[in-house]
Amino acid sequence: MPNLIELPDNKLQPAYAKTLLPNVIYRFPEHKLCEPRHRGIAEAEGLILKLRAPTREGSRQRLAVSIHEAAHKLAMQKLGIATSYAGQSIHHCCETDRFLTVFGAVAANERVMQALSAEQLAAVSVAGHVAERVFLGEAPAETWEPDYEDFLSSGKDGLRRSQLILVWKLAEETMLDELRADIPWQQKIVHEAARFEAQIFGFDRSVNAAV
């Protein structure tokens, strides 16, 4: 299975390149890619292996990721935004010098996203964890914090951080009430989540079938 590394292969030490996880985008500066593996990368890979594992915990996590991303996608679709799904990736964040593990994502055109108002971006951003709360009863902080931080740092409509927090809270409460009452929309999310799961985690089944 191909790796989706976003660096030329020759930047990797051979020992490292042979042990990359399949179907993971590795995106970080060259000097982090030496042997022995940086502890942050090894930890991120451990989290991805747990997510992909044929265990109860693994399948629960895959379900949560699928529901979360499907809800983001449908919220974007409502605004007429075209999207595509992406799978797991490991990024290096230069500002904090930390490694970020992404379990799944919805990609959209950056310029289209920049054109959204604060309310529209809030509706898209809260959709993921709101759906998790409605379907699974909870949304752990690590699933909503990245969306929250991205939204607050967007500087949308020239609003200050404290004002954006209010916009976020309002969008969250409104969507929570609406989704709880809207059974057809819940069904749409369930169907979309199944599509996400097949597209992003489907290779797990093919791996298992081949063993």
Give the binding site for Zn ion (CB under 5 A). Answer: 128, 147
Show the tokens assigned to 39: 């502890």
Beta carbon nearer to Zn ion, 12 or 131: 131
Which tokens in the block code for residue 25? 């985008």
Given a contact cutoff of 8 angstroms between Cβ atoms, the answer to whether 156 and 125 are in contact is no
Which two structure tokens, joined as six digits, stand for 6? 């976003």
Name the phi and psi angles at 96, rounded to 5: -105, -5
Q: How far is the CB of 115 from Zn ion (least distance, A)?
A: 20
Judged by beta carbon, residue 87 or residue 128, the one nearer Zn ion is: 128
Select 147 or 204, whichever has its Cβ closest to Zn ion. 147
Q: Give the residue from 109, 16, 46 showing the smallest Cα distance to 28.
A: 16
Helix (H) or strand (E) holding 83: strand 83-86
Q: What is the rounded distance in angstroms from the CA atom of residue 29 to the CA atom of residue 154?
A: 25
Q: CB of residue 62 vs Zn ion: minimum separation in angstroms? A: 15
Q: How far is the CB of 158 from Zn ion (least distance, A)?
A: 24
Question: Which residue's beta carbon is nearest to the bound Zn ion?
Answer: 128
Closer to Zn ion by Cβ: residue 73 or 92: 73
Residues in a beta bridge with 134: none
Taking the complex as a whole, the smallest distance from the CB of residue 99 to Zn ion amounts, in Å, to 18
Greatest alpha-carbon span in the chain: 55
Kindly tell me which of 147 and 192 has the beta carbon lying closer to Zn ion. 147
Closer to Zn ion at the Cβ: 55 or 84? 84
Shortest distance, CB of residue 105 to Zn ion, whole angstroms?
8
User: Is beta strand 105-108 parallel, antiparallel or unpaired with respect to 89-93?
Assistant: unpaired
Distance CA 125, CA 110 (A): 14
CB 147, min distance to Zn ion, A: 4
